[in-house]
Structure 1
Amino acid sequence: MVPKVLIVLTSHNKLGDTDRLTGWYLPEFAHPYDEFKAAGFEITVASPKGGVAPLDASSVEMFKNDPSSARFLDENTALWENTEKLESFLGKADQFDAIFYPGGHGPMFDLAIDVTSQKLIAEFASKGKVVSAVCHGPAVFVNVKTEDGEIYLKGKQVTGFSNAEEEQVQLTKEMPFLLEDRLVEITGGKFVKADEPWGVKVVVDGKLITGQNPASAKKVGEAIVKAASAA
């Protein structure tokens, strides 16, 4: 059987009430994509609105000298310009081995409060599938409840973009909430992070896989492949 992963991108392109553009973050899709392709995964890409999922232009500039990101940008435009509507995947978790949410600031504004996404995550979790996200991607979990009404992240170990990292990119005030604070609260203090900002940190708690920041994206991809292959 060919392993299959559903990748969910943000449809949101603005930083709060400002005119600054955002979206999903290039290496957080590109680096795991390399791992998925090398492992022979079939890749499906969705977003809340379908169609073009906005790529954060600042990530293109930041990672223009990163071979993986540059190659991905050059060869895979169709993946994020022709996404399928997220709602079309409800009830289809059995068709996939994993669901993965790249970060970027976009998910903080749409996927964190998207009811369809929440239902889909609960469905994947209930079916014993790999559920994963990196950087701001774990924002998608903060409002998820399991099918029996429990808080999905309660008692689970998790990581995500830290307060210190948010402060260093000077976007703390633009965020609807601080991801680290919310994850600490929801998990009951189970949030963990690298010793220093921007360090690689990947946390595996059963079938839940999270990464802290862009530097963690490749290792997140590796962990997803390992967990999905063991299913």
Structure 2
Amino acid sequence: MSFLSRAMACLLLAAFAGPLHAGDAGKILIVVSGEGRDQGKTRPGYEFDELSQAWLIFKANGFAIDVASPQGGAVEADKYNPQEPFNAALLADADAMRALADTRTTRDVKAADYAAVYVVGGKGAMFDLPRDTALTSLLADAYERGAVVGAVCHGPAALVDVRLRDGTPLVHGKTITGFTNEEEALFGKRWAKEFPWLLEDRLVAQGAQWQEAPLMMAKVVVDGRLVTGQNPYSTAGVAEAIVRATGRTPVARTPWRDELTMALAAQARDGDLTGAAGALAADASRYHVDLLGLLGYYQAQAATEEGGVRHALQLMQLAMPYMAQPQLKLGAAEAHLRLGQRAEAKALVHRVLAATPDMAEAKALLQRIDG
């Protein structure tokens, strides 16, 4: 073989060993599960919030958007609140509604057409996305070509069997997150028993370096062109990280109420309770206070150490002045009891009984405190 021939061969090998050119810099593909039926009652589907927030961010940053699902056609989301501003905005977008009414099939889209592929979560993603070989090939091709691959919540289920040209799993050695085992234990009871595997376990088994935040707190992990988010409250962060990974600077925007609420929860967990309480007192309407209270309530249930119980209690205490639900006070009383603070626990239970004297749950907790 001549020197020129050897040089050409080396160049060709180098070209095929490295990434191909990324796709159309102005287009993003959103992938959703087509599993859903009856708003998730008889079969789980995708999370509309995780679609709408990302769609609006992508569109605001100048991207054209296509939507695909394993079987194509109309897809159904799990039950959601259509009055949330991000959902209302997407419902009013005629192009978005047309795309959702007739999604493209994953086998008919080409990775070369997109700068990024974003996989929406929802429990349906655990069923049809991992077994969709066309999607697995699409994601591998997109990543090899230099596109950004992103997923949120249960969306990383689509990544578990994606393999690169050399046969290694896409996620091997990469930092990643997704819906955690802890979150699944609390919120996945209906469908998790039918899952082929738990997402965290499967990704770790494929060699991923798992990261997670406390229960249901926002968490975004970026490893080069792989972007993942832990749960629905990570969606906006994932979308903006995808935009940045394509080389664009996300446009400035006003954070949604859920984002502000989760930031407030993080502020409280970081020790600035005074600042968090002051922000609520100044304008509680900016925040989803029920979310703040529920976050503390469920974090207390999941907590196994004193520090976790204490942080959860602080969130419940922040929300309590704005929430009348007796269950929140009982949750806080239970946390006080776990911390050995019987007087504080008893005072909260008496407040509940003063308003609802026949509440059996409150009476039972009082007996435990006195016992």
TM-score scaled by structure 2? 0.57
Aligned to 2:106: 86
Aligned residues: 221
The structure with the larger Rg is: 2
Q: What pairs with 1:184-223 in structure 2 (closer than 5 Å)? A: 184-188=204-208, 190-194=209-213, 196-223=214-241
The equivalent position to 1:28 in structure 2, one of 43, 46, 50, is 50
TM-score, normalization: structure 1? 0.89
Deviations 1:130-177 (A, max 9, x none): 011100000001111112211111101100001111111124323221
CA distance in 2, matches of 1:136, 1:215: 12
Q: Distance in 1 between matches of 2:142 and 2:246?
A: 12
User: Equivalent residue for 1:183?
Assistant: 203
Give 1:69 shift.
1.8
Name the structure 2 match of 1:10.
33
Match of 2:278 in 1: none
Q: How far off is 1:78 after superposition?
A: 1.8
Q: 1:167 to 1:87 in 2, by over 3 A?
A: same
Query: Is 2:163 the counterpart of 1:145?
Result: yes
Is the 1:3–1:229 Cα contact (8 Å) retained in structure 2? Answer: no
Q: 1:69 — aligned with what?
A: 87
Percent of paired sites with the same residue: 40
Please, which of 37, 40, 50 is the counterpart of residue 72 of structure 2? 50
Quote the residue 1:166 is aligned against.
184
Range with greater deviation from structure 2 (143-152 or 205-214): 143-152
8 Å Cα contact 1:2-1:40 kept in structure 2: no
Q: Which stretch has the larger CA shift, 100-109 or 144-153?
A: 144-153
CA–CA distance in structure 1, aligned partners of residues 91 and 147 of structure 2 = 29
Instruction: Tell me which amino acid in the other structure corresponds to 2:215.
Output: P
Asked if structure 2 preserves the Cα contact closer than 8 Å seen for 1:160 and 1:210, the reply is yes
**Compared CA separation, residues 74 and 21, structure 1 to 2 (3 A):** farther
Question: Counterpart in 1 of 2:315?
Answer: none
Query: Does the 8 A contact of 1:3 with 1:228 survive in 2?
Result: no
Take 1:19 and 1:199, find their aligned partners in 2: how far apart are those partners? 26
Query: Can you list the C-alpha shifts for 1:167-211, whole angstroms capped at 9, x where unaligned?
Result: 1112432322111111122125x11111x1110000000100000
Deviation at 1:93, TM superposition (A): 2.0
2-structure distance, mates of 1:137, 1:155: 19
Instruction: State the secondary structure of the residue aligned to 1:70.
Output: helix
For residue 14 of structure 1, report the CA deviation from its aligned partner: 6.0
Checking the alignment, whether the CA contact within 8 Å between 2:25 and 2:114 is kept in structure 1 is no
Unaligned runs of 5+ in 1: none
**Conservation of the 8 A alpha-carbon contact between 1:207 and 1:227:** yes
Residues 2 and 42 in structure 1, CA contact (< 8 A), matched pair in contact too: no
1:21-60 per-position Cα deviation (integer Å, ceiling 9, x unaligned)? 211101111111111011010101111111112211x2x1
Q: Where does the alignment leave 5 or more consecutive residues of structure 2 unmatched? A: 1-23, 249-371
CA distance in 1 between counterparts of 2:194 and 2:212 reads 22
Moved more, 168-177 or 100-109: 168-177
* 8 Å CA contact 2:43, 2:124 repeated in 1: no
Q: Give yes or no for contact 2:27–2:115 (8 Å, CA) kept in 1.
A: yes
Q: Residue 54 of structure 2 aligns to which amino acid in structure 1?
A: P
Q: Is the 8 A contact 1:157 1:187 kept in 2?
A: no
Partner residue in 2 for 1:131? 149
Instruction: Check conservation: 2:177, 2:212, Cα contact below 8 A.
Output: yes
Q: 2:144 & 2:47 partners in 1: Cα distance?
A: 28
The CA RMSD over aligned residues, in Å, is: 2.1
* Larger mean Cα displacement after TM superposition, 143-152 or 128-137: 143-152
Partner secondary structure for residue 244 of structure 2: helix
